[in-house]
Amino acid sequence: MWVNNPWFVVLGESAAERAKELGYDAHIFDSQNDPAKEAEHFDNIIAMGYNAILFNPTDADGSVLNVKRAKKAGIPTFCMDREINSRDAATTQLLSDNFTGCVKLGQYFVKLLNKTGNYVEILGLVGDNNTWNRSNGFHSVVDEFPELKMLAQQSADFDRNKAMDVMETMMQANPDIDAVFCGNDAMAMGAYQAVLAAGKADRIKVFGFDGARDAVQGIADGKIAATVMQFPVEMSRISADLADRYLKGERGFTNRTPYEVILVTPENVSKYLPEN
């Protein structure tokens, strides 16, 4: 996992909390999005003989071997949120349905822009399947409307500060941007800061993904156009429950279970504000 990002803190801590409620000792290993650190953690986990791994992979391809090594050592792995490209390495994978969420977001985007305009896209980590599931879901809709033109596409690694810099550069190169689609809410908030500083908050619509508290509040305040709400607490707690069921003898899990995500817009934001 990656504890620099609050979203992953919630994911990891909720999983650990649920595991403790179920009577297990739980330890959080932070790979900081670094596959090398992740491999070291798996070495330690295997050497120390943990019973199960609730896992947020750093790389869809690169993490497969780590999961296979754990499997070979008799330790089942349950992927949470991010997936690995394997049918059978993990015991199961509980994943936000990112693609479908961005299909919904894309349709809202098209309607809000009346099927015409210029936009830019800020991607997350390029080695992460979620980055591409979000981007591809969005483009599976938006690319069907030829009068919507993407002027630039660049990664900001899911990082708020990087997104602010990227957005500043994009606005300097493209003065006629109508909207920006960001692969997560941290980047959406960074992009919004850049848009605000450039005095273009009334023109450029900012779209995010995650359902982070500040982005949801931003929708209510008219700063953010829309986001897609994920449910990290529920997802991580269910993953811990699945591991518990496995350790108690249950088998036959499906290799993947998508977890539905919800489009949040000004029309329904009141339901998702923290006080509600």
Partner 1 sequence: MIMKRLIKLVLIVLSVLAIIFFSLKIENLEEYKTANTKVTFNATEYAEKFWKEKVPSIKNKAIETSELIPLLVNNPKEAFENHSRVLGISKTHYFITKGSGKITSIEDEYFVVKINENQTVKIATDFIFGNAVRDGSGEISINEFLNMTDFNNVSVAINKLVKKNVVRKLQTTAEQGKTIDFVGATEIYEENIDTENIRIIPVIANLGNGEKN
The residues binding partner 1 (CB under 8 A) are 60-61, 64-65, 68, 83, 85-87, 94-95, 97-100, 103-104, 106-107, 110, 129, 132-133, 136-137, 140-141, 238, 254-260
* CB of 138 or CB of 192, closer to partner 1: 138
* CB of 141 or CB of 182, closer to partner 1: 141
* CB of 109 or CB of 119, closer to partner 1: 109
* CB of 127 or CB of 151, closer to partner 1: 127
**CB of 180: closest distance to partner 1 in angstroms?**
21
**CB of 175: closest distance to partner 1 in angstroms?**
31
**CB of 61: closest distance to partner 1 in angstroms?**
7
**CB of 144: closest distance to partner 1 in angstroms?**
8
* CB of 104 or CB of 223, closer to partner 1: 104
Q: Give the C-alpha separation, 172 to 198, whole Å.
A: 10
**CB of 195: closest distance to partner 1 in angstroms?**
27
**CB of 107: closest distance to partner 1 in angstroms?**
6
Q: Give the C-alpha separation, 255 to 86, whole Å.
A: 9
* CB of 79 or CB of 152, closer to partner 1: 79
